[in-house]
Amino acid sequence: STPNYESLDYEVCENTLFQDEQREQLAERFSLRKDIIRWIIFIQIGIITALIACSIDIIIEELSELKYQFLIKSVQENVPLSDATEGDLVIPYLYWLLFSILPVAFGAAMVTYIEPITAGSGIPQVKSYLNGVKIPRIVRIKTLAVKAIGVITSVVGGLAGGKEGPMIHAGAVVAAGISQGKSTTFVKDFRIFKAFRDDHEKRDFVLGGGAAGVSAAFGAPIGGMLFSLEEAASFWNQNLIWRTLVASIISVFTLNIVLSAYHGLNDFTFTGLFNLGKFDQPLKFDYFELPIFMILGVSGGLLGAAWNSLNTKINKFRKRFIPWKIGKVIEAVVVAIMGVTLACLMIYFINDCRPLGNDPTNNPVQLFCEDNEYNAVAALWFQTPEATVRSLFHDPPGSHKILTLALFTVVYYVLSCATFGLNVSLGVFIPTALVGAAWGRLLAMVTFYFFPQAEFLHPGKYALIGAAANLGGVLRMTISLSVILMETTGVESSFFFPLIIALISAKWVGDYFNEGIYDTQIQVNHVPMLTWEPLPQYKGLTAQKILSSPVVCIKLRDSAHYIYQMLKKCEHNGFPVVDNVEGNRRSEGRVCGIILRSQLIVILLKSLYVENKRFWLPETSIQTFRDLYPRYPSIKSVRKLDEKINYTVDLSMFMNPSPVRVNPHDSVPRIFQIFRALGLRHLLVINNENRIAGIITRRDFIYK
Amino acid sequence: STPNYESLDYEVCENTLFQDEQREQLAERFSLRKDIIRWIIFIQIGIITALIACSIDIIIEELSELKYQFLIKSVQENVPLSDATEGDLVIPYLYWLLFSILPVAFGAAMVTYIEPITAGSGIPQVKSYLNGVKIPRIVRIKTLAVKAIGVITSVVGGLAGGKEGPMIHAGAVVAAGISQGKSTTFVKDFRIFKAFRDDHEKRDFVLGGGAAGVSAAFGAPIGGMLFSLEEAASFWNQNLIWRTLVASIISVFTLNIVLSAYHGLNDFTFTGLFNLGKFDQPLKFDYFELPIFMILGVSGGLLGAAWNSLNTKINKFRKRFIPWKIGKVIEAVVVAIMGVTLACLMIYFINDCRPLGNDPTNNPVQLFCEDNEYNAVAALWFQTPEATVRSLFHDPPGSHKILTLALFTVVYYVLSCATFGLNVSLGVFIPTALVGAAWGRLLAMVTFYFFPQAEFLHPGKYALIGAAANLGGVLRMTISLSVILMETTGVESSFFFPLIIALISAKWVGDYFNEGIYDTQIQVNHVPMLTWEPLPQYKGLTAQKILSSPVVCIKLRDSAHYIYQMLKKCEHNGFPVVDNVEGNRRSEGRVCGIILRSQLIVILLKSLYVENKRFWLPETSIQTFRDLYPRYPSIKSVRKLDEKINYTVDLSMFMNPSPVRVNPHDSVPRIFQIFRALGLRHLLVINNENRIAGIITRRDFIYK
Ligand SMILES: Nc1ncnc2c1ncn2[C@@H]1O[C@H](COP(=O)(O)OP(=O)(O)OP(=O)(O)O)[C@@H](O)[C@H]1O
Ligand SMILES: Nc1ncnc2c1ncn2[C@@H]1O[C@H](COP(=O)(O)OP(=O)(O)OP(=O)(O)O)[C@@H](O)[C@H]1O
Ligand SMILES: [Mg+2]
Ligand SMILES: [Mg+2]
């Protein structure tokens, strides 16, 4: 029952119709116009993605503020203010439960009943899409709406998750939507510009959208661009990258305008774009700290790998024992209740009072503390996870007890592990950074406790390194992650080195045990993603070993009947076109091209037969095929052929005449490189006489 | 008489010997070892490149300091200190001439007589190399030495150039040297690790070296990585990029350690890595400034295009009228004299005295000024161009007269244009930034003079935008340039947008007129560089139109005599291997593979014939071929075949059995993409029966 994912057609089919169009367009300077429109779309993607990200951001901020203000007031009413170190937390606890259960239940229900694909962070899905796998419904507007509401409800509900994954997904949806000028959700075709209606163009736009999304989520334009590259690009196309960078920068700029205005600043001076907080002073470090950073990295790798494997186990358990929809909603609620309860217990039992004054928390809670003191435990819990990361980075030394932080780390580690995989929309970046920041800071505090002369143990610095290590251990996206961290905390370039050390060690140690969390999710879902290098077990093989044969082929001129029957019988999406066939032994013919199932269906649907050529030839163009994109009807929607059963199809003007061909003795690493670099869907294996010997698709590199 | 550049063999030849090696290595976990060594080499590249960059940097700083201190003293001795506004500048002028002529003449002589390839910035050459063109002697240690001395002498000599281009070249040389463990200059083979001895691996290392060089030159690790990508990468290989980023970061880190130590700081807190100076306060801007930035961008595009075309004309003139070596040295000296003279005239005739105090210049010169004042004109000239850029970015408003800056801009524009193309080692980045900063600042000052209420006209900000615009107009390297500028000035991400606006407008306007200066240089030298997209005139063509035929082919089993004669007769580097040949009509045979000239020469040299197979077969491996890399002997070094004239060569174990093949009717854009994405050298065109129809090389995409 594993879903049968299909691939995108990134390869451009250069058939006669396409060439005709090209020739026409060459005359009317069409490509310049197309280029300009493409730029405009990329700019729009940047702006709209940022606006959506802003809205999500602001709504979350406002609602969370309301919620925590209310809770604080309730605490203050129920716990006598001064001189009381005892009091009743039951009422606030109940309120807290209420304000967690309501949004979480609502969000989980939306996700479960309306659009299950919106569960999780969305990054694995976008990543798969950019890799060339068609994920159904992933770039629809409905998906975007559910995702946005989902992420707002879950963050406001207090689940251990962040908003960044969904924002990236949002960017992808925006890109697909704008570039296609057509929405399936609203069954509306804006009929503006159709030249971008193919998988190739769409995927390029989605690349830009993803980048804009990352940029908006982190205020990190270069990191955004690199994220898209790291996750997606196979061929380095300079113009595409440049457009992506511009979309990212515009996205960050828009974010800045809106947030500046929202915070009542002029001059676009809102610096909150460093959304993990800018360090006041340049972070310094000493030679002898480098090994410590490396140890932190190794710990990050170990903890991350453990987190990944635990999370995978939990999710397997879930899949098996909670198949019902209502069960998934209840489960989300249970985790929310668990979170609130653990937090309350911590607040109740740990007595960690700190003097008011230079504390950086927005909502100091006095709770069980003297006047002029605030409760450090409550301060950790009474805000969004993102704000807590900021606190851990920037709170002055001595802002927490060791016990507080130790318990917090453990609780959050478990909570985040239980949360990722729930049927809610949530990213994993922020909780991972939070856990890392917590244990990084904790380590510095513990060490400082034993060696009070070690002044280099700046807790904020170690929180940052810990966050990097933990992120490296869980996500393993090294390039973009390092740049995002640099941009999002605004550290000086001299501090890049410690960050990189932590990241590398974490990645290497983690890779020894398992894969990054996104890749794990992709594998669990049996998405046929192509890795960067061929899988190790394929390294010594030749094409011969992985090809499929006999191949279902079509003759250059074949009967409508055969095509119809063949399409009904098999599920493949690409068929070599052959000539020089003896009798019916098509699968030994000589290759002239390749044709896609979708094209064949259009041919049958529109009756593009040789016998009635004069009717359709004048008005048939590449547009005939593009009109039905992206949801070509299935063969079932083609009525029985009856009277046309003996008609003939001549594929020479429809097929792709230049499929990429390799030999049976070519090594798999080599053909893999060709497959990936050119973004292919089908690779034909031919013998020395150009006769078909087999066919290779994405799956054959993974499951054979 | 245009040089006939050959290509690099980026494609891996997967012949039987290679597969044998692979199989052996698979057994001994060789690839893990290779991976580790590769990482170590990348780290070494980062460190050594940074050390070289540091040395160049420090020597230039020290020598320039000495020079200008001496000149200032001489000025002070010859121009009466207080109350004198007249004085004699002749002695200082002569000294200045001396200190310019000596180093420049020395540097120009070194470049001209010892290693002419070191002339210029080196970026075009590195770029060509990374693009796949073999530039003779470009990555030798001797080249590096001459280049280093060359750039020191010319910057100290006061020519209008920067050190960054040569640093990038230095990185490339370091990378090639370290990775090969073999130096042609010292005729030494360190015999350490031979697995990296092929063009593919070497080019990947050079990519990392270039990135490390950029990073060291600008203190911009991400910019460095992107520079390499923008200039070079065709296939986005995640691991390669990651290694490149790490090399860049290590390079910046090393730089930081050394420079911190040099400046007597501990904690690696040297922030001079922002080597165009970090802005004290976040740069602010208003909505209505965006159009102004765009206008600046357009001006940058115009000025840049004019500069490029003027420079090209000057260089053409040079090539034609100054063919003699000594003439080239004299010319460099003349330009140096011109520079000094113009500077002296400006200092003498312009009376621009500013109060001492908050001036940021290191060497205030009183020259013709009252006590407690310094001469703003002298301040501009009495330092390296890089320091002048910093001054223009960071000097407080009102540091110069309008006239001073206007004249300075004009003089420097002309000077830099005359300088680039001299036979000295110099980069064009810094002078271009300087000219841009000058006119940017000038524009702000002039406008402020007319609208004194326009307080947004912060001259430093406009200097930065001007520099970006001018760089965009001259270099047109948009992606890496923008990131380098962001990193090297440490602006906040909200200011990326203005920078991008200026860069884009400059690039677009400039592109309308001509190409970037590096590309122009490449074209002038007839280097067959592949652009990103096929040239416009090729867009509508098919492979048929650009292929070469008849093709010189070799039979799978062919006579030594034929091969020997054929190699003597023609100069091609790749020959299709065919079978199924009727008589001698090889060029109509059926394709089985392709073989390189260098391989054939090794076969002849080592007498690898069928007839004496038992002698060589056991000891022949891929290493036999790799040993001679990279300088394979020419066919002339093969002695006449005499007794072996009738021997036979069987190519089946030597040839590359999987050449990429296309059809005659494939479109040029498509085959171009394949050619570029796979880094090919030869592309075979075959007909429907797999018989050879033609061959396509790099040149055919450019000159046909
Ligand atoms: N025309 C064909 N004839 C025979 N086998 C094929 C053909 N096309 C694909 N296969 C094989 O069938 C298996 C499943 O491939 P599948 O039919 O899903 O390919 P596809 O749908 O055309 O491409 P994708 O699934 O990547 O979109 C693979 O092992 C593949 O090699
Ligand atoms: N074996 C061949 N037979 C016939 N023509 C060839 C052959 N090889 C190359 N050519 C053609 O000769 C011209 C010059 O190519 P050249 O001989 O320089 O190629 P090469 O040296 O093999 O490759 P490169 O110059 O890129 O290193 C090109 O137009 C090319 O198409
Ligand atoms: Mg399929
Ligand atoms: Mg050649």
Average pLDDT over residues B28-56: 90
The letter for the amino acid at A337 is: I
Answer positive or negative: Cα dihedral of B361, B362, B368, B373.
positive
Q: Which domain holds residue A112?
A: 40-79+87-262
Q: Is a pLDDT exceeding 80 seen at residue A28?
A: no
- Candidate from A26, A220, A245 with C-beta closest to B479: A245
Report the mean per-residue pLDDT for chain B.
Answer: 88
Examine residue A24 and state whether it is found in any structural domain, yes or no: no
Q: Are A652 and A16 in contact (CB under 8 A)?
A: yes
Rg (CA), chain B: 28
Per-residue confidence (pLDDT) for residue B81, from 0 to 100: 58
Q: What b-and-e string marks burial along A396-414, b requiring 16 or more CB atoms within 10 Å of the CB?
A: eeebbbeebbbbbbebbbb
Distance of residue B182 Cα from the nearest chain A Cα, in angstroms = 29
Per residue in A417-439, pLDDT (tens digit) is: 999 999 999 999 999 999 999 99
Strands (E), B18-140: 133-134
Q: Is a pLDDT exceeding 80 seen at residue B235?
A: no
Average pLDDT over residues B185-195: 65
Atom of ligand 1 nearest to the CA of A695: 31
Whether residue B368 is found in the same domain as residue B513: yes
Q: Is the peptide bond before A630 cis (omega within 30 degrees of 0)?
A: yes
Examine residue A280 and state whether it is found in any structural domain, yes or no: no
Residue with more model confidence, A697 or A374: A697
Rounded CA-CA distance B298/B295 in Å is: 5
Whether residue B295 is found in the same domain as residue B257: no
Rg (CA), chain A: 28
Q: Is a pLDDT exceeding 70 seen at residue B360?
A: no
- Cβ distance B590 to A689 less than 8 Å, yes or no, reads yes
Whether residue A514 is found in the same domain as residue A575: no
- Would the CB of B551 count as within 6 Å of ligand 2? yes
Q: What is the domain count for chain B?
A: 3
Quickly tell me which residue has 């098999």 as its tokens.
Answer: A570
B286: left (phi over 0), alpha (psi -120 to 50) or beta: beta
Per-residue confidence (pLDDT) for residue A680, from 0 to 100: 92
Per-residue confidence (pLDDT) for residue A85, from 0 to 100: 55
Give the residue whose CA is nearest to atom 26 of ligand 1: A7
Atom of ligand 1 nearest to the CA of A570: 17
Per-residue confidence (pLDDT) for residue B94, from 0 to 100: 92
Rounded CA-CA distance A145/B322 in Å is: 70
Rounded CA-CA distance A271/A269 in Å is: 6
Q: Which of A483, A499, A524 is the last residue of a domain?
A: A524
Per residue in A292-325, pLDDT (tens digit) is: 999 999 999 999 999 999 999 999 999 888 888 8
3 state SS of A649: strand
- Residue B193 CA, distance from chain mean position: 27
Kindly report the CATH number assigned to the domain that includes residue B47. 1.10.3080.10
Q: Which of A466, A491, A524 is the last residue of a domain?
A: A524
- Cβ distance A590 to B689 less than 8 Å, yes or no, reads yes
Furthest-apart CA atoms within chain A: distance in Å:
99
- Would the CB of B9 count as within 6 Å of ligand 2? no
Kindly report the CATH number assigned to the domain that includes residue A618. 3.10.580.10
Per-residue confidence (pLDDT) for residue A701, from 0 to 100: 93
CA A673 to ligand 3 centroid distance, Å: 20
Per residue in B406-438, pLDDT (tens digit) is: 999 999 999 999 999 999 999 999 999 999 999
C-alpha dist (Å) from residue A124 to A50, A520, A529, B266: 21, 9, 10, 44
- Cβ distance B245 to A12 less than 8 Å, yes or no, reads no
Examine residue A13 and state whether it is found in any structural domain, yes or no: no
- Candidate from B221, B242, B689 with C-beta closest to A496: B221
Q: Which residues contact B481 (CB under 8 A, 6 or more apart)?
A: B468, B471, B472, B475, B503
Average pLDDT over residues B191-218: 87
Chain B residues within an 8 Å CB radius of A658: 662-663, 665-667, 670
Helix segments in B475-596, DSSP class H: 478-489, 496-513, 517-524, 543-546, 560-569
Per residue in A484-515, pLDDT (tens digit) is: 888 888 787 778 889 989 999 999 999 999 99
Whether residue B557 is found in the same domain as residue B463: no
Whether residue A543 is found in the same domain as residue A507: no
Examine residue A35 and state whether it is found in any structural domain, yes or no: no
Rounded CA-CA distance A111/A127 in Å is: 20
Per-residue confidence (pLDDT) for residue B33, from 0 to 100: 84
Closest CA to A214 of A58, A50, A41, A384: A50
- Cβ distance B284 to A271 less than 8 Å, yes or no, reads no
Per-residue confidence (pLDDT) for residue B183, from 0 to 100: 63
Per residue in B553-608, pLDDT (tens digit) is: 999 999 999 999 999 999 999 999 999 888 888 988 999 999 999 999 999 988 89
Q: Is a pLDDT exceeding 70 seen at residue B75?
A: yes
Tokens of B110: 């070194």
Interface of B with A in 225-284 (CB under 8 A): 229-230, 233-239, 241-242, 245-246, 249-250, 252-253, 256, 266-271, 273-274, 282, 284
- Would the CB of B106 count as within 6 Å of ligand 2? no
The letter for the amino acid at A256 is: N
DSSP 8-class letter at A583: T
Rounded CA-CA distance B607/B605 in Å is: 6
Whether residue B247 is found in the same domain as residue B307: no
Per-residue confidence (pLDDT) for residue B389, from 0 to 100: 92
Whether residue A191 is found in the same domain as residue A51: yes
Give B536's pLDDT tier (boundaries 50, 70, 90): confident
Rounded CA-CA distance B122/B110 in Å is: 16
Whether residue A457 is found in the same domain as residue A580: no
Sheet of B574-579, strands arranged across: B554-555, B574-579, B590-596
Interface of B with A in 478-517 (CB under 8 A): 478-479, 482-483, 486-487, 490, 492-494, 496-497, 500, 504
Per-residue confidence (pLDDT) for residue A192, from 0 to 100: 63
Q: Which residues contact B100 (CB under 8 A, 6 or more apart)?
A: B157, B158, B336, B337, B339, B340
- Would the CB of A552 count as within 6 Å of ligand 1? yes
Whether residue B61 is found in the same domain as residue B177: yes
- Would the CB of B134 count as within 6 Å of ligand 2? no
CB count, 10 Å around CB of A425? Answer: 31
Whether residue B117 is found in the same domain as residue B57: yes
Q: Is a pLDDT exceeding 90 seen at residue B184?
A: no
B541 touches chain A (CB under 8 A): no
Whether residue A382 is found in the same domain as residue A476: yes
Examine residue A341 and state whether it is found in any structural domain, yes or no: no
Examine residue B5 and state whether it is found in any structural domain, yes or no: no
Whether residue A520 is found in the same domain as residue A542: no
Chain A residues within an 8 Å CB radius of B533: 239
Q: Which residues contact A242 (CB under 8 A, 6 or more apart)?
A: B478, B479
Per-residue confidence (pLDDT) for residue A360, from 0 to 100: 53
Residue B134 has φ and ψ, to the nearest 5°, of -80, 115
Examine residue B302 and state whether it is found in any structural domain, yes or no: yes
- Would the CB of A551 count as within 6 Å of ligand 1? yes
Q: Are A655 and A592 in contact (CB under 8 A)?
A: yes
CB-based neighbours (< 5 A) of ligand 3, an ion: A 6
Rounded CA-CA distance A206/A176 in Å is: 6
Rounded CA-CA distance A8/A135 in Å is: 9
Q: Which residues contact A672 (CB under 8 A, 6 or more apart)?
A: A530, A533, A534, A538, A701
Per residue in B652-666, pLDDT (tens digit) is: 999 999 899 999 999
Average pLDDT over residues A363-392: 83
Examine residue B95 and state whether it is found in any structural domain, yes or no: yes
Q: Determine the angle formed by the axes of helices A478-489 and B238-262, rounding to 10 degrees.
A: 40
End-to-end CA distance of chain A, in Å? 19
Average pLDDT over residues A178-182: 80
